[in-house]
């Protein structure tokens, strides 16, 4: 008999709505639900600010609604598990949040999200709401650097949202928020490793098969193919290859300053994450790369997928100033 995912749920079809209700309860009165739609926005958006709207499929909690808060995103539109929000969800969420100073869409680069956010942007523009977009493309496993615009958006979304939200708090106008957010995306790289499969609650099945003695390097957060499937290996061997690939892709050099995230995809232990962080810090130190900040935990998960991703975010003076500004959301406070 094949193994099945084991979750404590009510009706599997109600999972996205119920997890969103739980998030809103957890945030007290800081988040407002968009009436009739799967979207939320901050209760304290200023009257004269650019608004940052994010979104994507549910199932990656705390991404995306968990990053709605001061100094991060202002609103999030959410789809079903691993599915894009529809254009009407995006439109109504944006209308609820926007203040007439323009809107920046920030979301991961997936075909469904691209289509639905583009449709929403076009319809909002027809109603006089100015919209610009940054698609996050941090997953180096998805395409070569020469086709960076084809890469997927994964855990690096959080850094890009952090910079967008901080730029808004700093008083940037829409053009400048867009410009510095695009720079943050260009300076972000991620690579993941999967040891076990994720699932969609409605199906009650794992999305793919990965043998007990195998791992997949570079697998995406929905189970998209990685760069290689192989027999299990040591942590240092796999983590060393991941950080070396990341450093080469972003062309880090001695003296550069970075932030590092070790992101739990759902079912890995802190022991594994900390061992990964040990190797990452050793390699960066050997290369004279300065680590400005380190985050370890579940920031962009994939249900019960076993494994984690490593993200490198390269700073310059402007990005560091914005990164160091405070933020306050369910998923990230500083």
Indicate which residues carry an active-site annotation: 60, 222
The residues facing 216 across adjacent strands are 194, 229
The residues facing 81 across adjacent strands are 58
How many of the other CB atoms lie within 10 Å of CB of 99? 14
d(CA 264, CA 121): 32
d(CA 140, CA 67): 23
d(CA 127, CA 122): 9
Residue 125 to residues 20, 95, 116, 313: CA-CA distances in angstroms? 28, 11, 14, 32
Tokens of 276: 């990964």
Closest Cα partner for 215 from 234, 196, 199, 198?
Answer: 196
Residue-wise burial string across 306-320, b where 16 or more C-beta atoms lie within 10 A, e elsewhere: bbbbbbbbbbeeebe
Give yes or no for a contact between 98 and 59, defined as CB atoms under 8 angstroms apart: no
d(CA 74, CA 43): 9
Half-sphere exposure of residue 235, counting CA atoms within 13 Å on the CB side?
A: 15
What do you get for the CA distance between the two ends of the chain, in Å? 47
Give yes or no for a contact between 295 and 31, defined as CB atoms under 8 angstroms apart: no
């Amino acid at each position: 008999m094949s193994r099945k995912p084991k979750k404590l749920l009510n009706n599997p079809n109600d999972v996205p709505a119920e997890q969103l209700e739980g998030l809103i309860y957890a945030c007290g009165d800081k988040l407002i639900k968009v009436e009739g739609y799967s979207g939320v926005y901050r209760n304290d958006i200023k009257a004269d600010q650019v608004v940052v709207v994010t979104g994507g499929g549910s199932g990656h909690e705390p991404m995306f609604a968990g990053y709605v808060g001061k100094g991060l995103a202002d609103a999030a539109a959410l789809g079903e598990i691993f599915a894009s929000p529809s254009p009407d969800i995006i439109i109504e969420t944006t209308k609820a949040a926007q203040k007439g100073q323009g809107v920046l869409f920030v979301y991961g680069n997936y075909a469904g999200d691209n289509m639905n956010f583009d449709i929403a942007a076009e319809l909002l523009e027809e109603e006089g709401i100015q919209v610009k977009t940054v698609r996050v493309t941090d997953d180096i496993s998805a395409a070569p650097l020469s086709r960076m615009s084809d890469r997927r958006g994964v855990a690096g979304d959080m850094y890009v949202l952090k910079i967008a939200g901080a730029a808004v708090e700093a008083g940037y106008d829409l053009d400048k928020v867009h410009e510095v957010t695009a720079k943050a995306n260009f300076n972000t790289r991620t690579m993941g490793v999967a040891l076990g499969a994720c699932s969609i609650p409605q199906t009650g099945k794992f999305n793919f098969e990965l043998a007990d003695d195998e791992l997949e390097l570079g697998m995406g957060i929905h189970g998209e193919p990685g760069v290689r499937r192989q027999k299990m290996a040591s942590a240092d061997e796999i983590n060393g290859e991941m950080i070396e690939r990341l450093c080469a892709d972003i062309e880090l050099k001695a003296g550069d300053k970075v932030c590092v995230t070790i992101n739990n995809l759902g079912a890995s232990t802190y022991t594994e994450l900390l061992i990964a962080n040990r190797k990452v810090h050793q390699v960066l130190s050997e290369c004279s790369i300065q680590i400005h900040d380190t985050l370890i935990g579940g920031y962009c998960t994939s249900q019960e997928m076993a494994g984690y991703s490593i993200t490198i975010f390269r700073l310059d003076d402007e990005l560091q100033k914005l990164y160091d500004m405070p933020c306050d959301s369910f998923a990230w406070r500083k």
